Amino acid sequence: SSEVLEAIENVIQGVVQSLAQKKAPVLTVANRTDWRNIEFKDSVGLQMIPGCTSKQIRSDCPQSAGRFALMLKILSMIYKMVQSNTYATKRDIYYSDTQLFGSQSVVDQIINDISCMLKIPRRSLHVLATTKGFVAGNLSFTEEDGTKVNCTCSATVFTVPSNVQGIKNLTSHAKFILIVEKDATFQRLLDDDFFSKVSPCIMITGRGIPDLNTRLLVRKLWDSFQIPIFTLMDADPHGVEIMCVYKYGSVSMSFEAHHLTVPSVKWLGLLPSDLERLNICKDALIPFTKQDENKLASIQKRPYIACQPLWKKELEIMAASKLKAEIQVLTSLSSDYLSRVYLPNKLQFGGWL
């Protein structure tokens, strides 16, 4: 915490010095969303290059003066929280003055900018993200406040903790971790008692694009147990994008890649090649939209696809067919095909990439 306080004090000192010299104070923030500032490393995923380009948030420029003020406001809130050892969610910060902030996304972006500017992970700033992910299966742990969580005893779903860094005493006999893209598929596998039938496993869903806590938990489980991690996604560009976020990280959070990415993640399904192999009826597939085509083309150009020839091949199959499929398409074969046939066969015979 002293490191965080010192970092904030240095920023404020810079502002005060500028004012003393009759200069307009400026905050310098790295360009987080520019691909030119990102490098790809096999062992880490997408990370920021050391000498990346930055943007200036000036106090004397009408376009950025408001943002400059909001950054100082949130810095002061973070400073107080770290001093008093209290925490707030991004939502709490927004609702502390909705008129001032204008929207939740403004708060989210400023917090990420501050984290990147101070080079301090967001959790250390005492700002918690609202969690939307779920976890179930063969896992128990103790939360920071001493609450014991045991996912093993039942088919109950537990919300991913809002302070993943604080959890301890993780125990599990799981043989693998299964990341499921969608809540509906996750619930279906729970109803089918999948995680105890095949072999003990841990199931996680970020319910779409994963939030920070879900990604942190996947990384913590990998660090703790070093067991295989598989992903179960829709066979569409959006599903591939989500899988890449778990494995290689996202551009906007690349400054935190070392804490978030899990490059050992494997693509278990639904593979575009599975659709032909399983003779899925063409009528059950969904034609691409223009947006799908653009998204797929953008993914195919990314640096990490070049080092994954088998993934590249699957994306080419998808691009050629211009058809996509949700995991639910497997119910056209039988209602419990996913948990009874598809996943057990894949896990037994190594059907992942």
Buried b (16+ CB within 10 A) or exposed e, 277-301: eeebeeebbeebeeebeebbeebbe
Q: Active site residue: 87, 95, 246, 342, which one?
A: 95
- State residue 65's pLDDT score: 87
Q: What does the pLDDT average to over 128-155?
A: 83
Residues 309 and 241 grouped into a single domain: yes
Cβ neighbors of 78 (< 8 A, separation 6 or more) are 4, 8, 114, 125, 126, 127
Residues 119 and 138 grouped into a single domain: no
Looking at residue 282, the DSSP 8-state letter turns out to be G
Residue 120 in 3-state DSSP? coil
- State residue 20's pLDDT score: 92
Banded pLDDT at 16 (limits 50, 70, 90): very high
Q: What does the pLDDT average to over 152-158?
A: 74
Residues 140 and 241 grouped into a single domain: yes
- State residue 221's pLDDT score: 93
pTM flag (> 0.85): no
Residue 239 in 3-state DSSP? helix
Residues 121 and 269 grouped into a single domain: no
Q: What does the pLDDT average to over 123-152?
A: 85
Residues 177 and 313 grouped into a single domain: yes
Residues 193 and 59 grouped into a single domain: no
pLDDT of 47 strictly over 80: no
Residues 151 and 121 grouped into a single domain: no
Q: What does the pLDDT average to over 13-28?
A: 89
Banded pLDDT at 153 (limits 50, 70, 90): low
The alpha helices in the chain, defined as continuous H runs, are: 2-20, 65-84, 90-96, 98-101, 104-118, 183-191, 194-197, 212-225, 237-248, 257-260, 272-277, 290-300, 303-306, 309-321, 337, 343-349
- pLDDT tens digits along 208-266: 888 888 999 999 999 999 999 999 999 999 999 999 889 988 776 776 667 788 888 99
Banded pLDDT at 155 (limits 50, 70, 90): low
- State residue 45's pLDDT score: 79
Task: State the Cα–Cα distance between residues 247 and 307, nearest whole angstrom.
Answer: 13
- State residue 154's pLDDT score: 63
Domain boundary, last residue among 128, 154, 173: 128
Token look-up 């970020």 returns 206
Percentage of the chain lying above the pLDDT 90 cut: 26
Catalytic status, residue 95: yes
pLDDT: which is higher, 295 or 191: 295
pLDDT of 96 strictly over 90: no
Domain boundary, last residue among 128, 144, 174: 128
Task: State the Cα–Cα distance between residues 222 and 198, nearest whole angstrom.
Answer: 20
Residues 188 and 318 grouped into a single domain: yes
pLDDT of 85 strictly over 70: yes
Tell me the CATH number at 94: 1.10.10.10
Task: State the Cα–Cα distance between residues 57 and 59, nearest whole angstrom.
Answer: 7
Residues 198 and 275 grouped into a single domain: yes
Task: State the Cα–Cα distance between residues 80 and 82, nearest whole angstrom.
Answer: 6
Residues 179 and 240 grouped into a single domain: yes
Banded pLDDT at 55 (limits 50, 70, 90): confident
Task: State the Cα–Cα distance between residues 8 and 182, nearest whole angstrom.
Answer: 39
**Mean pLDDT for all residues in the chain:** 86
Q: If we measure between CA atoms, which residue out of 4, 250, 35 comes closest to residue 117?
A: 4
- State residue 315's pLDDT score: 92
Tell me the CATH number at 312: 3.40.1360.10
Number of structural domains (the chain) is: 2
Task: State the Cα–Cα distance between residues 138 and 151, nearest whole angstrom.
Answer: 6
User: What is the domain range of residue 109?
Assistant: 2-128
Residues 23 and 160 grouped into a single domain: no
Least reliable range by pLDDT among 14-18, 62-66, 128-132, 330-334: 128-132
- State residue 203's pLDDT score: 92
Q: What does the pLDDT average to over 107-127?
A: 85
Q: Is 329 left (phi over 0), alpha (psi -120 to 50) or beta?
A: alpha
pLDDT of 71 strictly over 80: yes
Q: What does the pLDDT average to over 104-122?
A: 86
Residues 120 and 148 grouped into a single domain: no
Domain boundary, last residue among 128, 163, 183: 128
